[in-house]
Each structure stands twice: as C-alpha cells, then as structure tokens.
Amino acid sequence: RKEVEQDPGPFNVPEGATVAFNCTYSNSASQSFFWYRQDCRKEPKLLMSVYSSGNEDGRFTAQLNRASQYISLLIRDSKLSDSATYLCVVNGGYNNAGNMLTFGGGTRLMVKP
Amino acid sequence: EPEVTQTPSHQVTQMGQEVILRCVPISNHLYFYWYRQILGQKVEFLVSFYNNEISEKSEIFDDQFSVERPDGSNFTLKIRSTKLEDSAMYFCASSTPLHNEQFFGPGTRLTVL
C-alpha cells in the first residue's frame, strides 16, 4: 500500500523558533512532492513544491532525499500565523494522464506567543 | 488570483438520496480532481478527470459515484444513493498540464443523516 507517513505532533513552539517536520513515503515511483498547509476545517493550501535540489521560499525550506524516500520542511522564525497542520503530499506515480495525490496525515504546529 | 470555487458549502441529505456537488475549476486548468476528507482523517483521492474522461480513480470511487463536466466551466460529483459513511468534506482541485501543483476549492461539507 502506498503511504505517506508523518509525525502527527502537535509541535508546540514559541514565536521565533525554528521547527522541522519530516515525512517518509513508500512509493518509489513518485515524481512530484509537495507541502500543503491546512487550517482547521479548511481546504489544503499549497505551501511549496519540493525539488531534489532543495528549495527555499522565505522562511520555509524544503528538502527531498529520493534515496531514503524522505521529505523535510524547515520553518524559521515561526509566527503565530504559522499555526496549522502541515501535510506532506506525493503524487501516486501512476500513468502520466493522471496525477492523484497521496496525503500524509499531517503534522500539527502550534506557535505560542 | 484565480481560485477554485465549490457549491454548496454545506449539504445535508437523507441516507439513500442523490446529491450533486459542484465545482468551478481555475479557468486555464485542464486536470480536475475530487478528494474527500472524513473528519479527523487524511485527505483521500477519489477521481481525476482529463479530456472529458476519468483518468484515475480510487477504490472509494465505486458505482455510486460519477463525475461530469456538463459545460465549459462546471465539474460535478454525483453520489447516487448516499450512505452514512459518505459524510465528509469533499474537495475539488484543478491543475495545469505542465505540472502537478493542484489547487483546492474550499470544500463542500456533506452530512448524511
């Protein structure tokens, strides 16, 4: 069964802290990797795509290790508004005409003043 | 910024009734998807749709489910005879042909009584 595994947390951190989330995926055929953010009872919102070379967007840095099938997200200088559930997402690796996404269960982050 | 829209935001129905959930994907997107999220659980893929046909579907998407693009803008999910276990948040998503970044609508909360 193709799965994405994440530590559910919660991670409770003070404002300004650096926090890191990890996930592992089991489908070695996956080609696309993402972090989404989900607020309570809202839709997943794309935070960033994850590339093999690693990529950074402001305070957020994502890394991909294909050999270990491991994805990470680092948040620096965390803000109260970063409080949310962070979803690790990979594509299913099926035929090119379809691109189903497989979601992890999410890691909950709570940033405290 | 263009976004995916969904109607209704909340649908309450009796077991055994048919429901139709509606979505308007982002206008230049060609791939369309339905996902669902049962309260407290992972987001799960249901079906993807491209070029007026289903390209992938999960084991959840059985004969009770169907999708349609009745015109140039709407994308619908029909559940023919709802069950209690169909109660969930249903998310529509869309993406371009160039990459698999999927953008989600705000969801329809389906409650089956």
pLDDT, one tens digit per residue, over A56-93 is 999 999 999 999 999 999 999 999 999 999 999 998 74
Chain A residue with Cα closest to B106: A43
Chain-chain contact of A95 with B56 (C-beta, under 8 angstroms) = yes
Distance from CA of B62 to the nearest CA of A (A): 16
Task: Enumerate residues 6+ apart whose C-beta is below 8 A from A66.
Answer: A52
Instruction: With beta carbons less than 8 A apart as the criterion, state whether B35 and B46 touch.
Output: yes
- pLDDT > 60? residue A1: no
Q: Mean pLDDT over all residues of chain A?
A: 91
* Chain A positions in Cβ-Cβ contact with residue B99 (cut-off 8 Å): 32, 49
- pLDDT tens over chain B, length 113 residues: 889 999 999 999 999 999 999 999 999 899 999 999 999 999 999 999 998 999 899 999 999 999 999 887 899 999 999 999 999 999 999 998 776 799 999 999 999 99
Q: Which of residues 51-110 of A touch B (CB under 8 A)?
A: 87, 91-92, 94-95, 97-106
- Identify the pLDDT of residue B96: 87
Q: Distance between CA A58 and CA A74 in Å, rounded?
A: 11
- Identify the pLDDT of residue A94: 45
